[in-house]
Amino acid sequence: MVCINKYDINLDKTKEITSYCAERDVEVAACIPFDTAVTEAMVQGKPITVYGDRRVSEELRKLWRSVQARLAGL
């Protein structure tokens, strides 16, 4: 399982990573977009989810659901 962080900064690299994973049957669990609110949340010591309903928050929730599902299947 792989998570691509800041995927939208370099879409060519993201395509390269997803192709590499597909060739090796590795799941891409989430693609986390770049968002300056993540840095702000870290500096403030707060979770990103307190910064409203952002796309980055939803992708992190998606990643967490994927991890939970994978762990439940063990």
The tens place of each residue's pLDDT in the chain, 74 residues long, gives 999 999 999 999 999 999 999 999 999 999 999 999 999 999 999 998 887 788 998 899 889 999 999 999 87
First to last CA, the chain: 14
Distance CA(9)–CA(5), nearest Å, equals 9
**DSSP per-residue letters across 34-64:** P-HHHHHHHHHT--GGGG-S-HHHHHHHHHH
Count of Cβ atoms closer than 10 Å to residue 50 Cβ: 10
Q: What is the pTM of this model?
A: 0.81
